[in-house]
Amino acid sequence: MFKKILVAVVIVLLLGQIPFAYRRYKLRRLSAVVAQINAQRTTSETSPQWAEYKGVIHVHSFLGGHSSGTFSEIIAAAKTNQLNFVIMTEHTEKDFDTAAMTLQGVHSDVLFVNGNETVAANGDRLLKLPGDISIVAYPEVFKNWDTAGLNGVEVYNVYTNARQANPIKAFFDVLWSHRAYPDLLFGLYYERPTEALKKWDQALTHAKLTATPGNDAHANVGLNLQDGAGKTLAGIQLDPYETSFHLVRLHVLTDATKALDTKQLLDAVKSGHCFIGFDLLGDTSGFSFAAATATETKIQGDEIPLQAETRLRIQTPAASRILLFKDGSVILNESGITTKDFPVTERGVYRVEVYLPQIEAIIGEKPWIISNPIYVR
C-alpha cells in the first residue's frame, strides 16, 4: 500500500511540473522573438534637434537599508546594460543624508544622479530628485494628490508588479527557467499597470505630470546558504542589478547640441521629454511621438495649439500595435504598422501605448512602450 501511495505521489508531482515545462518552452519562443525584433528594428526619423539617452530610475544601495548592494555592483550593472544614466533614490535615514552620500556624477561613463525616496506620515511615497522634482511612487495607494509641486508619476514599478506573482508558481518557474532565462522569466509575470495608468490619466486632467518607470532595484531577492561566519556557500540571486536594469528603462530626449549632464537629464524628466521602454521585450530606442502644425513641431511632454492642420505622428522601431489615447480613452487601435499620422480635431491630452503582436501571441498583452502625453490646447 505504501509503495502505491508513493508512486501516486510521484506521478502527481511529475504531472504538476508539466505547466512549468510548458512555460519554459514559451520563454524559449519568447527569446527567439525578442532576438528577431532587435535584429529587424529600424531607426525612426528623429529630429536632429534631439539626442536620446536611456537609463533607469528608482535604485537603492546599502545606504538606506533594505539592500546590501554596493556602488561597484551598481556601476558595473549600468555599464553592462550600456546605460547612459542611473537615478538613485535612496531610502532616508534620520542621522545622515543618504542622497548626499550616494552615487552622483560620472562613473565609468555613466551619469549618476542622487535622490531620495521619502515617506509621508500618511504613507505616501515620493521620489525626490535634485531641482525640487517630486515623482509620485506607488500611485495605486497614493492618497494626497493635492500635494504641492508634484512633477511626475511612477506609472510602473517592478516591485509592485512582482508582488502580484503567485509564490508557489514563481518558485517552480525559477527552478525550471531561471538558469536559462534569468531576465525573460520576468516576462511571464509582467502585466500592464492598469490601475496606475488610470490614476495618472485622472491626474492629467488638471496637471502636467511626467510618467516614469520604477526599477525599484534593491538586489535583495534570492535564496542563500551561509556558513556560521556569514559567508555565502551557495545561492541564487533573482534580482541582481544587471537584471533589474534590463527590464524597463526611461528613454529621455535632450538638446542634441549639448552633452548629457545632470541639468539636461532632469530638465527632460521634468518636461516629460521621455518615454518608458520595456526593453526586455526588444530595444525601444528610436520611438517617436510628436505633434506638428504648419509652423511648429512639439514632442511628448509639450503643449501645442489646436489648429486646422494639427497632426500627431507616431513612429516605432518595429511593426507594432499602436494605441492612441485621448483623455484616458482609446481612440485608435491599429496593428502591423511602424508609422501613423493622426489628424487632431479636438483639444485634449494625447498619449500612446505600443504593443508587439508577436509577443502577445506568446505571453499575452504587455505594453512595449508607454509614451508621455502631448497636450493639445
pLDDT class for 233, splitting at 50, 70, 90? very low
Q: What is the mean pLDDT of residues 159-173?
A: 87
pLDDT class for 224, splitting at 50, 70, 90? very low
Q: What pLDDT was estimated at residue 261?
A: 97
Q: Is residue 202 part of a domain?
A: yes
Q: Say if residue 213's pLDDT is above 90.
A: yes
Q: Say if residue 231's pLDDT is above 60.
A: no
270-322: per-residue pLDDT in tens? Answer: 999 999 999 999 999 999 999 999 899 999 999 999 998 999 999 999 999 99
Q: What pLDDT was estimated at residue 166?
A: 86
Q: Is residue 46 part of a domain?
A: yes
Q: 3-state DSSP call for residue 9?
A: helix
Q: Say if residue 11's pLDDT is above 80.
A: no
310-332: per-residue pLDDT in tens? Answer: 999 999 999 999 999 999 999 99
Round to whole Å and give the CA distance between 154 and 140. Answer: 10
Q: Is residue 4 part of a domain?
A: no
Q: What is the mean pLDDT of residues 55-73?
A: 91
Q: What pLDDT was estimated at residue 225?
A: 40
Q: Is residue 104 part of a domain?
A: yes
Measured over the CA atoms of residue 321, residue 292, residue 154 and residue 276, the dihedral's sign is positive
Q: Is residue 8 part of a domain?
A: no
Q: 3-state DSSP call for residue 56?
A: strand
* b/e burial code for range 80-114 (CB count within 10 A of at least 16 → b): ebebbbbbbbbbbeeeeebbeebbbeebeebbbbb
Q: What is the mean pLDDT of residues 117-126?
A: 96
Q: Is residue 1 part of a domain?
A: no
**Domain, as residue range, for 133:** 14-376
Alpha helices (runs of H) in 41-125, residue ranges in sequence order:
71-80, 98-101
Q: Is residue 3 part of a domain?
A: no
Q: Is residue 118 part of a domain?
A: yes
Q: Count the domains in the chain.
A: 1
Least confident of 19-23, 119-123, 211-215, 274-278: 19-23
CA Rg value for the chain: 22
Q: What is the mean pLDDT of residues 130-151?
A: 95
The whole-chain average pLDDT of the chain stands at: 91
